[in-house]
Amino acid sequence: SDDAAWIAAHPQAFAVDGEAVQYKLLKLAATEPEAVPFVRLFPDSYPAEEAGSCDEARKGEVPRLYQWDRRWGFTVYSSTTFALTGCCPTALSMVYQGLTGKSDLSPYDMGVRAKQGGYMAAFDGTDSSFLANEAASLGLSCTPIGVDAASLRAALQGGAVVICNVGPGDFTDNGHFFVITGLADDGTLKVNDPYSAERSNRTWNIDQV
């Protein structure tokens, strides 16, 4: 596309926050076709002072939201663009909207709550304790489960929505939060990954995750 060609021809335009951020933005454009328009606009739009609203909420259906959405991806979170560091607040916003049917708290709004509560870390996203500690104020309950296939399957069969925090592997090179929304008919996991439409458009083997 024209956007992808422009990005490839102007790599230095993405180095405003250093080489690590530059690399991640270029890799995002290379691996996520849906994110290419966002990356193309980054040099002219970052940092943004305000975020747009979110109106996807349908009670009982976890919306698919991305941290690189142009409505909030250009704002600053954890020392750089929300598009790269906002996975935890985006995951919580998806779960909140799906369980309550309310659209008043966007991923950006959840990021503000994390920052105000002291859960945001410089260049390191969000401390996982934010989820359990913030749940009650959102009208939700958050219960840790065992890190094994049986516990995950039981939680999903019981109607829970699961926020998963992983280290390096199939979903990230560092650390990452995403939402497991349920089980497909064949027993695989349905995932809303706030960083990846590509990973969200397929299901995942429960033992692999």
Residue-level length of the chain? 209
- 181's enclosing H/E stretch is strand 176-183
Examine the pLDDT at 56 and tell me if it is beyond 90: no
Give the span between the Cα atoms of 111 and 126, in whole angstroms.
Answer: 9
Per-residue pLDDT band for 27 (boundaries 50, 70, 90) equals very high
Give the span between the Cα atoms of 125 and 85, in whole angstroms.
Answer: 5
pTM of the model: 0.97
pLDDT tens per residue across span 83-129:
999 999 999 999 999 999 999 999 999 999 999 999 999 888 999 99
